């Protein structure tokens, strides 16, 4: 399994004054001689791709805001913002088709059909996954960002309801406990539409290390074995890294081991960049790809380890979710949404 890094320097012209989600995030990629500007090959109009997930009214609103230079969520937009967003979504679709890594900005997993959030305007992963699902593919999305991808989750659950419970996309999130957006995910849970699992949220406590990320991924793999996806999409947020300062303690080794685990599953895999604003984001991408490609980890560095107290807290919180995934748990009915939620 080989993953190319798909990137275009036009995405560096967006949000240039931000010291968080600014061009410095991917400056190391721009400086590398082995990474050229990638021109999307997908045979669809770029705005048509946005329409796979977002409403026409929303697309026009964001387009107008960018033209006027208005602030949208946490982004001070410019015309370059809209251009970057179009390229990012098209590159994400190409990555999904070919099994590559879309190193894109702006990120997308907080955006839903008609709402923006954080630094996200259009949902690159949701667009790419919907593109595949519309071609008859079953897609499993694993989101490892420290923040839950509330926009991706809403998109996936809405699609399942519209299709009468047919879950051609499943969304799994492994995020930090208490992470923004506040209130979006307050406990681990599973959502089902007409008895089909469509989303799973796992929360890891502050101080969680690579071992807890691996344990959560292992539970996600149980769903993968049951669901038998044609494609796995990774919403690759690197903000769980210990240098991010959000409380999680992942290291480059943790992202490498994630790649190894996905490689062992043997399913076509692609990835789309979400969050991660520290100085080692590009290195995290490289190590993840090295794992998927089966290359040797280049450093003799141990994994970060969670304390026993954290594991006790995590296992207690995840008890009901684990029981359902393993086929032994019951569900609580939330009939107004036609979705079952584990309490």
- Per-residue pLDDT tens listing for the chain (343 residues): 899 999 999 999 999 999 999 999 999 999 999 998 998 887 778 899 999 999 999 999 999 999 999 999 999 999 999 999 999 999 999 999 999 999 999 999 999 999 999 999 999 999 999 999 999 999 999 999 999 999 999 999 999 999 988 899 999 999 999 999 977 788 898 998 888 889 999 999 999 999 999 999 999 999 999 999 999 999 999 999 999 999 999 999 999 999 999 999 999 999 999 999 999 999 999 999 999 999 998 888 789 999 999 999 999 999 988 888 887 554 433 323 344 444 3
Tell how far CA 308 is from the center of its chain: 28
Helix (H) or strand (E) holding 198: strand 196-204
Distance CA 276, CA 282 (A): 9
| 3-class secondary structure, 275 | coil
Using DSSP bridges, classify how beta strands 189-193 and 339-341 pair: parallel, antiparallel or unpaired: antiparallel
* Arch. (CATH architecture) of 5-341: 3-Layer(aba) Sandwich (3.40)
Q: Using CA atoms, how far apart are residues 250 and 155, in angstroms rounded to an integer?
A: 28
pTM: 0.94
Closest CA to 10 of 1, 23, 21, 24: 23
SS3 71: strand
Q: How far apart are CA 250 and CA 280, in angstroms?
A: 12
What one-character DSSP code corresponds to residue 109?
T
Contact call for residues 126 and 53 (beta carbons, < 8 A): yes
How far from each other are the two terminal CA atoms of the chain, in whole angstroms?
Answer: 38
């Amino acid at each position: 399994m080989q993953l190319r890094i798909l990137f275009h320097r036009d995405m560096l012209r967006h949000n240039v004054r931000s010291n968080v989600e600014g061009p410095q995030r991917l400056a190391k990629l721009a400086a590398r001689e082995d990474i050229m500007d990638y021109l999307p090959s997908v045979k669809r109009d770029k705005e048509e791709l946005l329409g796979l997930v977002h409403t026409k009214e929303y697309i026009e609103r964001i387009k107008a805001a960018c033209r006027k230079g208005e602030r949208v969520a946490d982004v001070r937009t410019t015309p370059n913002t809209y251009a970057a967003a179009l390229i990012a979504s098209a590159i994400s679709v190409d990555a999904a088709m070919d099994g590559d890594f879309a190193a894109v900005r702006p990120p997308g997993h907080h955006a839903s059909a008609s709402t923006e959030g954080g630094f996200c305007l259009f949902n690159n992963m949701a667009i790419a996954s919907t593109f595949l699902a519309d071609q008859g593919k079953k897609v499993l999305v694993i989101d490892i960002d420290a923040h839950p991808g509330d926009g991706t989750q809403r998109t996936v659950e809405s699609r399942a309801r519209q299709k009468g419970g047919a879950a051609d996309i499943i969304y799994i999130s492994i995020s930090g406990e208490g992470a923004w957006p506040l209130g979006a995910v307050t406990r681990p849970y599973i959502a089902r539409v007409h008895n089909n699992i469509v989303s799973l949220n796992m929360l890891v406590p502050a101080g969680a290390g690579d071992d807890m990320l691996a344990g959560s991924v292992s539970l996600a793999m149980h769903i993968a074995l049951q669901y038998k996806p044609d494609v796995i999409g990774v919403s690759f947020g690197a903000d769980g890294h210990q240098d991010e300062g959000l409380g999680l303690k992942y290291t480059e080794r943790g992202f490498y081991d994630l790649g190894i685990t996905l490689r062992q599953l043997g399913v076509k895999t692609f990835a789309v960049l979400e969050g991660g604003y520290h100085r080692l984001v590009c290195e995290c991408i490289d190590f993840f790809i090295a794992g998927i490609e089966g290359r040797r980890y280049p450093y003799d560095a141990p994994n970060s380890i969670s304390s026993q107290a954290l594991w006790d807290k995590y296992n207690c919180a995840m008890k009901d979710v684990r029981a359902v995934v393993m086929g032994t748990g019951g569900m609580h009915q939330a009939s107004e949404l036609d979705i079952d939620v584990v309490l």
